[in-house]
Amino acid sequence: MKAFSISRYKKDSDLQLVDVPEPVLKENEVLVEIHAASVNLLDSKLKSGEFKLIVPYKLPLILGHDVAGVIIKVGSKVKSFKVGDEIYARPADFHIGTFAEFVSIDEKDVALKPKNLTMEEAASIPLVGLTAWQALVEKANVQKGQKVFIQAGSGGVGTFAIQLAKNLGATVATTASEKSFEFLKDLGADVLIDYKKQNFEDLLSGYDMVLNSQDTKTLEKSFDVVKPGGKIISISGPPTPLFAKEFNFPWYVKFAIKLMSSKIRKIAEKKNVNYSFLFMKANGKQLAEITKLIEAGKIGPVIDKVFPFENTNEAVKYVESGRAKGKVVIKMK
């Protein structure tokens, strides 16, 4: 099969189009013919080697964390799916590889595709949907009437998280350029801050939760926004010792993470704010819950551009440019 892979870690390098064997199916896996995939900043960060301590992949590596397609084969112990099912998924870490014609996925990470979405629309959802769900529902337990600040509202995670937070009954603030304001209001944002002209830390206070996706400087400013006892959940780091323990990293990785996060943890303790790092996990059951919201019309996909499979490198570069509103999708068929 054809696939786009990397053979070494390098920020500015292109993915290579290669011919590789079709995945060998395990007894608890389904083989998916890929109709569409989507590009995430995580793909770029893996390509550059930024996460090689956390997810030490063996190279060469086929990238791609989102998929929508059709099951063409099932393992002997698969119970929940059958050949012909239209599905979508975020394959688990160390089982990624959706920039390809086929991928094998553990059935526990798979959900049936929302009936009201195209393959391209469905492929845009899993990683950002699960990230938002695990931050807002699982970790923060956002309740009706709470105030939530979601940074970079027009990005892939931001566009989904705004919709989910609004569906949970929260008041939602976000940062974006002024040209995105109307678009973000339509998604449900209540408070819009032009990051080019305004400082969010001067305008927001008493927030219950912040979803941080930006640099460390922005993260530090976010502590001025959250009320005592509130939560900051970061998907861009730094990781914490609790995260390192949960993932059972080697002692030297745990030590490095402890050093990396020491300043942020001290600020969190001083401000009486709960800080945690989220590296989202594949989860078919949570994706099925997201499907219910999508089919009920409460949340929808936001797609900026669709690229043909042969233009995967252009799709990755477009995501890296930071100009995308919502998701960038790769179409196989």
Residue 135 CB-half CA count within 13 A: 35
CA distance 290 to 288: 5
- With contact defined as beta carbons under 8 Å apart, do 238 and 216 qualify? yes
CA distance 213 to 235: 5
CA distance 258 to 275: 14
Tell me how far the alpha carbon of residue 55 is from its chain's centroid.
Answer: 15
CATH superfamily of this structure's domain 2-125+301-331: Medium-chain alcohol dehydrogenases, catalytic domain (3.90.180.10)
Where do the domains of the chain lie?
Answer: 2-125+301-331, 128-277
- The predicted pLDDT at position 237 comes to 87
The CATH architecture of the domain made up of 128-277 is: 3-Layer(aba) Sandwich (3.40)
Ranges of residues in the chain whose predicted pLDDT is under 50: none
- With contact defined as beta carbons under 8 Å apart, do 110 and 69 qualify? no
Strand ranges for the chain from DSSP E: 2-6, 16-19, 29-39, 61-62, 66-74, 86-89, 102-106, 110-112, 147-150, 171-176, 191-194, 207-212, 226-234, 274-277, 303-308, 327-331
CA distance 141 to 134: 9
The pLDDT tens digits for 77-132 are 999 999 999 999 999 999 999 999 999 999 999 999 999 999 999 999 999 999 99
The pLDDT tens digits for 124-175 are 999 999 999 999 999 999 999 999 999 999 999 999 999 999 999 999 999 9
Q: pTM surpassing 0.95?
A: yes
